[in-house]
Amino acid sequence: MDANSDCADPDGYVVRPLEPDDAEGFVTLHNDVWSRRRSVDWFDWRFLRRPGSTDEPDGFVTEFDGELVGARLFFPYRARVGGEPTLLRYESQTMVREDHRRRGLLSRMTRLALDTYRDGETALTFNYPNEMSSPGYRRFGWNEIGEVTRSYRLQFPRAGSALSVLRVGSGEQLLGSVGSDVLGRVARVARRVGASPDRYRVTSHDRPPVDRLVGLYERAVPPAIHLERTAALYRWWFDRSSDDRRAYLVHERGTPVAGLLTRTECASYYGNEFRVTYLVDALPLSGSENAEPVRAGLETVVADHPNSSVFVALEPLVPPAAARATGFVPDSAIPPALDLGPERLRLMVRSLRADCRWTVNGVTIGDRRNWAPSGIPLMDRTVEPG
């Protein structure tokens, strides 16, 4: 098969690589499936301006009667595998318009993607499916590396009142109103914020202190597989004005010792609006060794966002000790009545080599011990749709 040619099927569907001219059709599909209000400028930022792009397509679409009805995206990231720069792709934001589902479109796009990337520049692809979708990935050769813990900090405007809570995990639904007894138990946990050590000073930045962030990353570069933090990556990520993006530096005796990135947006579903703050990245990537300064940074983040109803982080990108000290609760401890997301997420990977070999730069990519547990930031992590 010529991976660069369109695949026209007898039923009228055309499966092909995503192209820059697809901007309007893609945005229309995205907004229809996810009930969002994205723009063409968002498409340009996400696809045309992002660093790490190559001559390979960053996604695949299904066209029917001249309209886009499906898409499967593979975002490029520069990573370090065995200490060597390596191109990986994060598979995300798979979508098919409701009236075209159950027709095998996802399978068709997946087959074209695997044919296109086989033995090309990309070494492997990874993603975070839930229990419902992971069997489909296994069928196409993905292997599970391990589960991923999401943690939440909940805070409510009126203590003890019933509140419809955003399902942060899937992004497009709301839970119904829940009783004040359940809210009270979770809110009491969320208010457990202690005083940070006096030796730390935290500064907030609405423009990226790129050199300092990269310096914090390079201070503790993990030997295991992880996404490389570069100046280009941080500049691209901050190049969005539609939501609130901030960097926090934690200083000790005048020297930055930790950094946090946050993104806050207002999500509106079924007439309900919530402010959600995501902990996007935490530096350096030294895990529990960095818990104390990260805790100081988290306390400032919480204080800076009094109107956010939900804070979301991945562990151990944010060290669990720091998360617990500032009122974050792991998804496994959330009461069933406040089920904030779907089933537990898991990290799954697939080799893109023609012989499906699972060794890249001398590293076995199917062994979870070879993946840095704090190595994957929330740049594209879809705890919300996009």
pLDDT of 69-116, one tens digit each?
A: 999 999 999 999 988 999 999 998 889 999 999 999 999 999 999 999
Q: Same structural domain for residues 161 and 218?
A: yes
Q: Same structural domain for residues 173 and 311?
A: yes
Give the model's pLDDT for residue 36: 80
Mean pLDDT over 155-176 rounds to 40
Question: Which residue range forms the structural domain that includes residue 325?
Answer: 149-338
Q: Same structural domain for residues 155 and 218?
A: yes
Which residue, among 380, 315, 319, has the nearest Cα to 344 in the 3D structure?
A: 315
State the CATH number of the domain containing residue 251. Answer: 3.40.630.30
Does residue 38 register a pLDDT over 50? Answer: yes
Q: Residue 2: inside a domain, yes or no?
A: no
Q: Same structural domain for residues 140 and 69?
A: yes
Q: Same structural domain for residues 141 and 261?
A: no
The 10s digit of each residue's pLDDT in 107-117 is: 999 999 999 99
Q: Same structural domain for residues 320 and 238?
A: yes
Q: Residue 271: inside a domain, yes or no?
A: yes
Q: Same structural domain for residues 250 and 351?
A: no
Q: Residue 51: inside a domain, yes or no?
A: yes
Please give the mean pLDDT across all residues of the chain.
81
- Whether this prediction's pTM lies above 0.75 is answered by yes
Give the model's pLDDT for residue 242: 63
For the chain, what is the domain count?
2
Q: Residue 376: inside a domain, yes or no?
A: no
Q: Same structural domain for residues 170 and 307?
A: yes
Q: Same structural domain for residues 167 and 255?
A: yes
Q: Same structural domain for residues 46 and 120?
A: yes
Give the model's pLDDT for residue 272: 62
Q: Residue 171: inside a domain, yes or no?
A: yes
Q: Residue 105: inside a domain, yes or no?
A: yes
Q: Residue 377: inside a domain, yes or no?
A: no
